[in-house]
Amino acid sequence: MSDTPTIASLVGRADSIYRDYSLTTVREWKARTGGLAMGFMPIYIPCEILDAQGVLPVGLMGARDDLEIIKGDAYYQSYICHIPRSTIELGLSGRLDCLDGVLFPAICDVIRNLSGMWQMLFPTKLVRYLDVPQNFEPAIGGRFYRHELEELAEALTSRGARPYDAEALRGSIARYNALRREVRALYALRQRLPWKVPTSELYVLLRAAVVLPVDDATRMLSEYHGLALADESRLPLDQARVMLTGSFCEQPPLGLIRTLERSGCYIVDDDFVQVHRWIQSDIPLDGDPMEQLVLAFLGDAMASPTRYIDKAEKGADLVLRIQRSGAEGVLFASPSFCDPALLDQPMAVRAVERHGIPWTAFKYSENTGQFQVIREQAGTFADSIKLWSVA
């Protein structure tokens, strides 16, 4: 990359990282540092723990529409989402060989099942199912989660990572706070001036950010932010402002996002690549850093269909996000057969309807290749908002 980046060069580099199934940047990082690299599945893992022990966290988000699934399909029934098939395919084809292991956060039965398969298929690698609490009392769920994190730190050490050190963790929290701030700032800029931050660009930047070392990711996002803000060549269009929800795990193909934008929608909030937005504000740097990570997970995480909310109203958080982002309508866009997203959807629909917010829904797969039907649906939705909405 040249010394003076441009929007095109930053997005181009992010796009090539996003398209690189062989994780070249991870291989280069390992050759340079001699460190371990651990893959992780959506939605969230505490990357700080890995970073503090000199381990590179590498987000695994499935594939796109250009990976032929030959073996992966044999492991799953037809009524299961696509991401576990492509992840198996990537693993069995050797593309993930540079990873020293994979973390599987507890978000659904499919991921749990995938962690078991991984253990059998790759017995020499570290495989951890990261169980997360569904009780958010520090004395109960917090104690449980802390134990999980301590065991994770020990498992990394047993594989050759640096032993856990509280001061190193504090430093890593500070670095990830900086990354989260950049992500939040970009989301805020897109919300305010969506024509300056096309979601198709933001998306590839976020996909690259989960593979890059934290400081590199922060720098990339910060440079893009400065350039996008200063660019006067992008002018506002008469598009409908929409919130896109349901796509927190298996990610849509980039072509689908471009299609939505071309159909007349400005996406002003979404559920894409949530790992660096999961914790919503800076994690305090004082006190015991491991405890601060735990408390942030318990008390400052995004609402998600994968988190138990007890007596709170399903969809209330979605309504709040719609109001905050100034979205005029909602696109419920979930991966086919995604139980957490699709089981929550009727309750979320009820919540937005109670507030008179227009919505439409469709499903996708990470390998969806035909967008014409979605383009017509989203275009009609955007037109109806512009013509008739009183929201």
Residues that bind ligand SF4 (CB under 6 A): 81, 83, 107-108, 110-111, 249-250, 335, 338-341
Rounded-to-integer distance, Cα 63 and Cα 109, Å = 20
- Which is closer to ligand SF4, CB of 328 or CB of 344? 344
- Which is closer to ligand SF4, CB of 219 or CB of 363? 363
Q: Give the nearest distance from C-beta 317 to ligand SF4 in angstroms.
A: 18
Q: Give the nearest distance from C-beta 365 to ligand SF4 in angstroms.
A: 10
Task: Count Cβ atoms within 10 A of the Cβ of residue 70 and give its class: 0-12 exposed, 13-18 middle, 19 or more buried.
Answer: exposed
Q: Give the nearest distance from C-beta 306 to ligand SF4 in angstroms.
A: 7
Q: Give the nearest distance from C-beta 67 to ligand SF4 in angstroms.
A: 16
Asked whether 59 and 25 are in contact (CB, 8 A), the reply is no
How far is residue 339 from each of residues 79, 259, 272, measured CA to CA in Å?
A: 10, 25, 17
Rounded-to-integer distance, Cα 81 and Cα 152, Å = 28
Q: Give the nearest distance from C-beta 110 to ligand SF4 in angstroms.
A: 4
Rounded-to-integer distance, Cα 47 and Cα 58, Å = 9
- Which is closer to ligand SF4, CB of 36 or CB of 41? 41
Least Cα distance to 65 among 282, 296, 327, 259 occurs for: 259
- Which is closer to ligand SF4, CB of 111 or CB of 318? 111
160 in the Ramachandran plot: left (φ > 0), alpha (ψ -120 to 50) or beta? left
- Which is closer to ligand SF4, CB of 46 or CB of 84? 84
Rounded-to-integer distance, Cα 334 and Cα 327, Å = 18
Q: Give the nearest distance from C-beta 43 to ligand SF4 in angstroms.
A: 8
Amino acid at 256: L
Rounded-to-integer distance, Cα 239 and Cα 289, Å = 44
- Which is closer to ligand SF4, CB of 110 or CB of 130? 110
